[in-house]
Amino acid sequence: MTWTPGSASRTDAMMPPRPDAHPGGPAPVRPAAHARTGPRPRVARFTPAERWIHRTTAVLLGTCVVSAACLYLPQLAELVGRRALVVTVHEWTGILTPVPTLLGLVSRAFRADLTRLNRFGPHDRRWLRAVLRRDTREGARPAGKFNAGQKLYAAYISGAVLVMAGTGLLMWFTDLAPLVWRISATFVHDWLALAVGIVLLGHIGMALGDPEARRGLRTGTVDRRWAAREHPLWRTDEDRDG
Amino acid sequence: MDRNPGAAEHPAADPDTTPDPDNPDPDTAAGRGTPVGRRVILGMLALGAGGMAAAPWLQRRLEKFLAVAAENDPTGVTGLLPNGGGFRYYSVTSSVPHKNAENYRLTVGGLVDKPAGYRLADLRALPQHRIIHDVQCVTGWRVPQTSFEGVRLATLLDAAGVRPGAGAVRFTCFDGAYSESLTLEQARRDDVLVALRMRDEPLGHSHGGPVRLYVAPMYFYKSAKWLSGIEVTHEVQPGYWEDRGYDVDAWVGKSNGRDDAATT
């Protein structure tokens, strides 16, 4: 059972509503059908575990970035001072940033989403090509639960956090490695920090521009029409289970 | 896809964009799709390792380039880039009081015959020496050929009369927290100043003014800002950062696990 407009091959009659499908409505139905049944049902997008992984990661990485700015930008450093404390905050939030993701691996839904983020199909190449060409026509940017941009962002930030943690540890525990490594680590850490900062601003900017995407991470559910528009190839778990 | 130009008008005709009833989710269907995410992560790790390996060479090139760029940069943006040249402000306290010619005092005490207190005007009246040298911070940044001007520390020590048995000098600061130390031998060097001017201007507050220590041959954390006290002691007492793991003898290029090129 699917809820996308393109799923003409199936009908509601084939799929009896499931009582446990989702709060707020019967099993996924096509837009035309739920127009008859009152308020549009919402689609489950993220489990509580996934939302908490995102929240804690955001707090840790956010604090890490803000403390970095207070160490690095002269104006902020002058305003905040307290260098030893800020250094400690930066080190610990930085090294703890991967922890929510690692703990989250016990969640089946989270692991399933990591698989989705990892795998690129023909539709993702298509999505990227459309973005490069600034093609905004309907149907030009096919996406599953995550679009190709979100997949690339997830992989980029994961790799970047690991590199930052590694180079950070070399600077933190100076006895870990030969002298020249530490200088090189500082160099990589500084420049990658700049690249991470820019990409993070992009991430936050995209989220600010899409209230429904934010609602998805806040409440766990998204509007059915939003999902059909932004992620037309996405099949929810209940779709698949049905 | 290009091979199927009609896709936009007839989505059902395109396997890439159309839900397939037998293979509902293109992202989770087993065996489908390339693990690009994993490759990007591994690529980032490889890039990090490559960056580590290339850093010494890259850093030299970038420093040269940015030093030139910074001179022609009215916006100051280059100052925010890593190794973009220029000083960075480090303070270990939340706020530092401002001192001026009226309320600034520098005390000299400890194992001396004649403890003394200097006002700013008193320090200005003593013989001034000017040093042009690279400033090297232990965190990596360097400001080349920076001029500092002030009274030799040796002058103040001689005026106070160091007693026999003294072996070191301890410095305290009016930020209320910072401290530093030098051996007596280090403190008597020609290139150790109680600095009143930097870059031919009175030392500003954010650079540790009105008076800071300037220890030219050592990493810049030895050059305590906002200097307010000089105390002659028996032996070296580790300073603020030295209690937190920094080397007490902070020669540029030969301490703190660093091999920076010599400053000149």
- pLDDT, one tens digit per residue, over A69-89 is 998 887 788 788 888 899 999
Count: domains in chain B: 2
Work out the number of other CB atoms within 10 angstroms of the CB of residue B192.
Answer: 24
Q: Which is nearest to A113 in space by CA: A49, A32, A209?
A: A49
Q: Residue B13: what pLDDT? A: 40
Same domain, B129 and B231: yes
pLDDT at A112 over 60: yes
Q: Going from the N-terminus, what domains does chain A have, and what CATH number goes with each?
A: 46-213+221-241 (1.20.950.20)
Please state whether beta strands B106-110 and B227-233 pair in parallel, antiparallel, or not at all (unpaired).
Answer: parallel
How much is the pLDDT for B92? 78
Residue B69 clears pLDDT 60, i.e. is over it: yes
A3/chain B closest Cα distance in angstroms:
10
Predicted confidence band of residue B28 (pLDDT cuts 50, 70, 90)? low
Determine the pLDDT at residue A84. Answer: 84
Give the minimum alpha-carbon distance from B253 to chain A in angstroms, rounded to a whole number. Answer: 10
Q: Select the residue from A7, A120, A135 to test the B interface by mutation, using most B Cβ atoms within 10 A.
A: A120
Which of B1, B14, B22, B52 is best to mutate for the A interface (most A CBs within 10 A)?
Answer: B52
Tell me whether B17 touches chain A (CB under 8 Å): yes
A positions 83-142 inside 8 Å of B (CB) = 83-84, 112, 115-124, 126, 137-140, 142
Q: Give chain B positions within 8 Å (CB) of A190.
A: 82-83, 140
Pair B75, B120 in one domain? no
- For residue A62, the model assigns a pLDDT of 96
B24: confidence class by pLDDT, cuts 50, 70, 90: low
Spell out the residues 6+ positions from residue B83 whose beta carbon is closer than 8 angstroms to its own: A187, A190, B59, B62, B63, B66, B140, B141
pLDDT at site A23:
44
> Does A194 touch chain B if contact means CB atoms closer than 8 Å?
yes
- Which residues on A lie below 8 Å from B219 (Cβ)? none
For residue B145, what are the domain limits? 106-244
CB proximity B177 to A under 8 Å = no
What is the reported pLDDT for A37? 52
On whether residue B155 sits in a domain, the answer given is yes
Q: What is the pLDDT of residue A40?
A: 65
Confidence of residue A24 (pLDDT cuts 50, 70, 90): very low
Q: Scan residues 100-119 of B and list those with Cβ closer than 8 Å to A.
A: none
Residue B13 lies in a domain: no
CB A7 within 8 A of CB A30: yes
Interchain contact, A191 vs B206, CB within 8 Å: no
What pLDDT is attached to residue B180? 94
Residue B92 lies in a domain: no
More confident residue, B28 or A178: A178
Neighbours of B259 (CB within 10 A): 15
- Assess whether B74 and B124 both reside in one domain: no
Higher-pLDDT residue of B126, A23: B126
Cβ of B26 within 8 Å of Cβ of A115? The answer is no
Of B17, B26, B87, nearest to A139 by CB-CB distance is B17
| CATH code where residue B112 lies | 3.90.420.10
* CB contact (8 A) between residue B48 and residue A232: no
pLDDT in tens, B163-220: 999 999 999 999 888 999 999 999 999 999 999 999 999 998 888 989 999 999 999 9
Domain presence at residue B95? no
| Residue B86 banded pLDDT, cuts 50, 70, 90 | low
What value does the mean pLDDT of chain A take? 82
Distance CA B79, CA B85 (A): 6
Closest CA to B219 of B193, B258, B187: B258
pLDDT band at A140 (very low <50, low <70, confident <90, very high): confident
pLDDT at res. B183: 95
DSSP string over B192-215 = EEEEEEETTEEPPGGGT-S-EEEE
Q: Which residue has the higher pLDDT, B26 or A187?
A: A187
Instruction: Say what the pLDDT of residue A45 is.
Output: 94
Does a structural domain hold residue B23?
A: no
Q: Are A3 and A43 in contact (CB under 8 A)?
A: yes
Tell me what percent of the residues of chain B surpass a pLDDT of 70: 81
- Of residues B75 and B237, more confidently modeled: B237
